[in-house]
Amino acid sequence: MTPYDDMAPQGRTPLIDGFGRTVSYLRLSVTDRCDLRCVYCMAEHMTFLPKAEVLSLEELDRVASAFVDLGTKKIRLTGGEPLMRKGMLDLVRRLARHLGTGALEELTLSTNGTRLREFSGQLAEAGVRRVNVSMDTLKPDLFRRLTRGGDLAKVQDGVAAAQQAGLSVKINAVALKGDNAAELPDLIAWAHGRGCDITLIETMPMGEIEADRTDQYLSLKDVRRQLESFWTLEDLPLNTGGPARYVRVAETGGRLGLITPLSHNFCEACNRVRLTCTGALHTCLGQDDETDLRAVIRAGATDAELAVAIRAAIAGKPKGHDFEIARARPAVARHMSTTGG
């Protein structure tokens, strides 16, 4: 018998790592596949995983539910592009049962927006209330180049469809020195003008890509100084369970998030872990730590044994990442699309 066999889920202690941080946020990748090939995210010619290596919908539900039983309050579904996964809505509906019991406080989604027109209504009906949409530029030609073929109008139509369905939309934009630096104020104004929050993200050294990230790295400290030359930025004591620090732009009335893994380490308050679509649990985005939960469940583990494996992984969560943009090679070999954002 394990220490958890005779305990109800509500009686289990929270997931706490070796540095005293409570882990309550799971980012769950449901697929490594994507219909775009963003230049900072993946190589142009990707080799995707065979189906046998990817967790089934039932396995994804089981692992996610184990996290909920252990105190996880927020699950974000990611990819690749999560809406490419066959049966994705079935998984959303399954996980939404934890919203009904109150065990899970939020079920959200990160997407590139290309399929939001098709799925927004059903996501809202299932219990999703917020989505994050990646959009790095307002220029159709630049968007097509950055995504290697994407259609900006389709993504913007997806944003509108999500809002029409009652979903709150946050725009995520990677700050790229050579591409979108000059238009970041316009992108912020566009989002705020449509009632969307927006978060800017520094490029992260993950996975081999064709481009040189050193050339594209743009410090958000510099971006903030630029914005403050013509806007009033008011710091907000807001915590949405992610790494962003938030400000309100007085002139637009909207919220702006800044994710700065390179210019300002955010690890001291990290409350999240990531599970890949193959069942690899990464407790740090910027480290190569990995626990193979697929092997655990496919070996016939009981729910109690799965809980023990999860707790052991959380106990070994690193203190922080080692991202350095100047390194000749990425800090970690896996691509962002594999890790799930």
Q: What's residue 266's pLDDT?
A: 59
CA distance 316 to 80: 26
Residue bearing the bigger pLDDT, 288 or 194:
194
User: Tell me: the pLDDT tens digits for 92-135?
Assistant: 999 999 999 999 999 999 999 999 999 999 999 999 999 999 99
Q: What is the CATH number of domain 22-339?
A: 3.20.20.70
Q: How do the domains of the chain map onto residue ranges?
A: 22-339
- At 54, list the tokens: 């990817």
Residue bearing the bigger pLDDT, 40 or 12:
40
CA distance 128 to 237: 25
Whether residue 328 is predicted with pLDDT greater than 50 in this model: the reply is no
Q: By percentage, how much of the chain surpasses pLDDT 70?
A: 84
Whether residue 11 is predicted with pLDDT greater than 50 in this model: the reply is no
Q: What's residue 7's pLDDT?
A: 38
What's the whole-number mean pLDDT along residues 275-297? Answer: 92
Residue bearing the bigger pLDDT, 94 or 318:
94
Q: What's residue 319's pLDDT?
A: 82
> What single-letter amino acid sits at 5?
D
- At 69, list the tokens: 């039983």
Most confident segment among 50-59, 238-247, 330-339: 50-59
Confidence of residue 322 (pLDDT cuts 50, 70, 90): low
- At 329, list the tokens: 């090679």
Q: What's residue 262's pLDDT?
A: 61
CA distance 307 to 295: 14
Whether residue 39 is predicted with pLDDT greater than 80 in this model: the reply is yes
What's the whole-number mean pLDDT along residues 37-64? Answer: 91
Confidence of residue 341 (pLDDT cuts 50, 70, 90): low
Is residue 196 within 8 Å of 223, Cβ to Cβ? no
In angstroms, what is the C-alpha Rg of the chain?
Answer: 19
User: Tell me: the pLDDT tens digits for 241-270?
Assistant: 567 899 999 999 999 999 987 655 557 778
Is residue 127 within 8 Å of 99, Cβ to Cβ? yes
Q: Which residues touch 258 (CB under 8 Å, ≥6 apart)?
A: 199, 200, 220, 223, 224, 244, 245, 246, 247
Other Cβ atoms within 10 Å of 287 Cβ, number? 17
Confidence of residue 285 (pLDDT cuts 50, 70, 90): confident
- What are the residue ranges of helices labelled H in the chain? 57-69, 88-95, 97-101, 116-126, 140-146, 152-164, 184-193, 213-216, 220-227, 293-298, 303-315, 336-339
- Exposure b/e, 31-65, CB count within 10 A at least 16 = b: bbbbebbbbbbbeeebeebeeeebbeeebbbbbbb
Residue (of 320, 265, 313, 266) closest to 293 by Cα position: 313
Q: Which residues touch 251 (CB under 8 Å, ≥6 apart)?
A: 231, 232
CA distance 52 to 177: 40
Mean pLDDT value across the chain: 88
User: Tell me: the pLDDT tens digits for 60-89?
Assistant: 999 999 999 999 999 999 999 999 999 999
Q: Which residues touch 232 (CB under 8 Å, ≥6 apart)?
A: 249, 250, 251
CA distance 137 to 171: 11
Q: How many residues does the chain have?
A: 341
User: Tell me: the pLDDT tens digits for 186-236?
Assistant: 999 999 999 999 999 998 664 454 555 567 889 999 999 999 999 999 999
Confidence of residue 40 (pLDDT cuts 50, 70, 90): confident
Angle formed at CA 311 by CA 305 and CA 317, multiple of 5 degrees: 145
Q: What's residue 42's pLDDT?
A: 80
Confidence of residue 340 (pLDDT cuts 50, 70, 90): low
What's the whole-number mean pLDDT along residues 159-186? Answer: 97
